[in-house]
Amino acid sequence: MLAILDYDAGNIESVRLALRHVGGDPVFVRDAAEAAKADRIVFPGVGSAAQCMTNLKARGFDSLLREAVARGTPVLAICIGMQLLFDSSAEDGGVAALGILPGTVKRFIPDAPKTKVPHMGWNTVAMPTPHPLLPDAREPDAFYFVHSYYAQPADPGVVYGTADYCGLAFTAMAGTGSLFAAQFHPEKSGPAGLDILRRFLQWDGRPC
């Protein structure tokens, strides 16, 4: 089963449609016990960190995600799903997150009057580190972003891709073991994003 976690955090229909487009048969899951049966899990999300964490805990998805990563189930986190993997977020006055990846989430600070936050639109992502979900050539490609906060990992070894905004290089992709996360929206990123989703459907959960 290909499970998309439904915890009332934004529009997940576009994720479902994109996965179907690349050959998947995803189902929305609102119960942790049901999600635990999945062969692979997609953890999307749009919204505030505090509300998303409240919703995750209410459905038992916080424990589910930690256990899924620990046992090697392929997990793909998207947008705020990626941010909530870290120890904490500065959003909403400070929120304790899942703690699966070491590090914190911070808000962009504009480096010039014309720099807008949120960061919204297409941006090039450098992919220097190999991963089964990324093209073998690992040449920079453009993906679609919508976010005001960015992850700052404590361990550079979890970073699979970076992009530039507000005068800094921020983490655009991260992961460990069977977990892969994207700050951008692969379902809205054209062929490059669909390629990541297609590769996720075939991934056995090993990082290399």
Distance set, CA 127 to CA 53, 116, 160, 185, 186 (Å) = 29, 25, 6, 16, 15
Distance set, CA 11 to CA 47, 128, 178 (Å) = 10, 31, 25
- Candidate list 79, 91, 119, 147, residue with the active-site label: 79
Residue 47 near residue 80 (C-beta atoms within 8 A): yes
- Candidate list 52, 67, 187, 208, residue with the active-site label: 187
Secondary element (H or E) of residue 181: strand 179-182
End-to-end Cα, the chain, rounded Å: 23
24/40 Cα distance (integer angstroms): 11
- Candidate list 119, 131, 147, 185, residue with the active-site label: 185
Is 208 an active-site residue? no
Return the number of other C-beta atoms located less than 10 Å from residue 52's C-beta: 26
Is 52 an active-site residue? no
152/10 Cα distance (integer angstroms): 23
155/151 Cα distance (integer angstroms): 11
Partnered with residue 88 across adjacent β-strands are 96, 104
Is 147 an active-site residue? no
Active site members? 79, 185, 187
